[in-house]
Amino acid sequence: VTSQEQLARIAERTRIAMESAPFHIPIKNEEIKLTVSVGGIIWDGDEDMENFIVRAGDALVQAKKERNVVAIQ
């Protein structure tokens, strides 16, 4: 993945697939609906790992605040 647009498309397809698939809990014989929050970033190749991890964490926090969304920074 080399662009934010590509990352967003892949993440959104994954989020929709997870939301659409029933999740069966055998011990309760019950199905529940899952949601997924995805935060993503693109590494530019020059960024140090510490900053990369901070940006990734920030993107995930943003996605989790809104819930069941994709947040790409």
10 pLDDT tier (thresholds 50, 70, 90): very high
Q: What is the mean pLDDT of residues 35-62?
A: 95
Residues with Cβ < 8 Å from 55, sequence gap 6 or more?
A: 41, 47, 73
pLDDT reported for residue 1: 85
Which has the closest alpha carbon to 56: 37, 69, 43?
Answer: 43
| pLDDT of 44 higher than 90 | no
- Which pair of structure tokens corresponds to residue 59? 């993107």
pLDDT at 21: 93
pTM passes above 0.95:
no
